[in-house]
Amino acid sequence: MSSPGYRPTPAAASQLNLRGAVDLSSLRRPAAPPAPPASASADGAARDGGTPNGDETNGGAGTAPLRVDATETNFQDLVQLSAQIPVLFLLWSPYAPESPAVLDAAERVVVSYAGRLVLAAADVDAFPQLAQAFQVQAVPTAVAVVKGQPVPLFQGPADDAQIKDLVEELLKVAAANGVTGSIGDAAAQGEEAGPEPLPPLHQAAIDAIEAGDYAGAAASYKQALLEQPADADAKAGLAQVELMARLENLSAPEAENLRDLAAGEPDNLDAQLGVADLDVSGGHIEDAFSRIITFIGRNFGPERETARVRLLELFEVVGTTDERVAKARQGLARVLF
């Protein structure tokens, strides 16, 4: 990825808001309980600055770290933590020369706020799905998450003062949306409540996902639905792992060829559904829904039904309460009736 000069986004002033274009559900762990990041080292000492080496910083705020390494495994836990405190994701790469300095500056700023927000350092080379989830085009890039919603901050180099200005605005946005906790409060709440264990079949599915066994995860969710047909989490989980399985072995050149095929053959069912999968995984939710609805409006018979069923599955992936799903349901109704 390239590393352009400092470019604050339009959100770099009072225009910060919670209406992001990124869909964070692409890395969602179905039915996973919210939890703060793992505890820091017992000495609780804050580092004055840092390097992108994965160290955790306590910063004197309770026992939870103010900096954690974001991975595909703990991503959803961090997103859920953002309901209590803002989480600042700094997406970096060891191959981008500006990354170490920006990461150090971001950490110093976060530590100075004594637990009012957390820094999640995401190595996009080690975890490319994180870059995909945020639609990152270059590194370093900073994106905050508040109540599960992404808030773009900046891309490229930035110093302490620039980051601090953005954090000040971020905290105002967070407060306006009722997010006013601290990492110490979040850790204490997690210790008091404790994570509830998942149902056995759900846990088996999560274990299979983390092992890369999507077929095994799907089998566990299907069994859960056989036993409890109204299990909404199992239904959503099944749709998600089936999407992961469809995209698992698709290379970048194959994806580009698929897009070319879909552009040239609008009535090619497999191509249209394949590109819709790509769009959902990349956060282009409305594009994906519109593509399938347009196909349904032009076609009849078995292919139309196949497309309708796939659209309903993608609704589950995104989340049936998402406003984009509600809008797409209206569009589907118009072409069906």
Higher-pLDDT residue of 56, 226: 226
Q: What percent of the chain has pLDDT over 70?
A: 77
Q: Would you state the pLDDT for residue 16?
A: 52
- Note the pLDDT of residue 88: 96
The answer to whether 240 and 27 are in contact (CB under 8 A) is no
pLDDT of 6 > 50? The answer is: no
Q: Are residues 172 and 240 in the same domain?
A: no
> Domain span at residue 42?
7-193
**Among 48-62, 82-96, 204-218, where is mean pLDDT lowest?**
48-62
Span 50-79, average pLDDT = 65
**Count of structural domains within the chain:** 2
Q: Is 240 found in the same domain as 174?
A: no
> Does pLDDT of 26 surpass 50?
no
Instruction: Give the 3-state secondary structure of residue 206.
Output: helix
What tens digit of pLDDT does each residue of 28-39 get? Answer: 433 333 344 433
The answer on 155 and 31 residing in a single domain is yes
| Cα separation, 193 vs 67, whole angstroms | 23
Go through 26-45 and write b for each residue having 16 or more CB atoms within 10 A of its CB, e for each that does not: bbbbbbbebbbbeebeeeee
Residue at token pair 């969602």: 28
Q: Is the confidence at residue 147, as pLDDT, over 80?
A: yes
Question: Same structural domain for residues 226 and 326?
Answer: yes
Domain boundary among 193, 215, 250: 193
Mean pLDDT of 305-310: 96
Whether residue 50 sits in one domain with residue 170: yes
Same domain, 245 and 330: yes
The answer on 238 and 273 residing in a single domain is yes
Q: What CATH code is carried by the domain that includes residue 90?
A: 3.40.30.10
Residues 43 and 81 in one domain: yes
Answer yes or no: is 89 within a domain: yes
Residue 2 lies in a domain: no
Q: How high is the pLDDT of residue 25?
A: 46
- In this prediction, residue 184 carries a pLDDT of 64
193, 208, 223 - which closes a domain: 193
The residue assigned the tokens 């072409």 is 335
**Cα 231 to Cα 30: distance, rounded to the nearest angstrom:** 12
The answer to which of 54-68, 74-88, 158-172 has the lowest mean pLDDT is 54-68
134 DSSP assignment: T
- Contact indicator for 130, 91 with CB cutoff of 8 Å: yes
Q: Which two structure tokens, joined as six digits, stand for 180?
A: 């006013």
In a domain, residue 75? The reply is: yes
* Residues 53, 105: Cα–Cα separation, whole Å: 14
Q: Which of 178, 193, 208 is the last residue of a domain?
A: 193
Rounded average pLDDT over 202-210: 90
In a domain, 255, yes or no: yes
Same domain, 19 and 168: yes
At 129 the pLDDT is: 87
Q: Are residues 170 and 67 in the same domain?
A: yes
Cα gap 79→321, rounded to integer Å: 17
For the cut 50, the answer to whether the pLDDT of residue 11 exceeds it is no
- Which ranges of the chain would DSSP assign to H, the alpha helix? 75-81, 99-112, 128-133, 160-176, 183-193, 200-210, 214-227, 232-247, 252-264, 269-281, 285-298, 302-318, 323-336
Q: How far apart are CA 144 and CA 237, in angstroms?
A: 26
Residue pointed to by tokens 């497309």: 307
Tokens of 169: 């605005």
Distance of CA 146 to the CA centre of its chain: 12
Question: Which of the four pLDDT bands, split at 50, 70 and 90, describes residue 114?
Answer: confident
99/180 same-domain check: yes
Are 120 and 137 part of one and the same domain?
yes
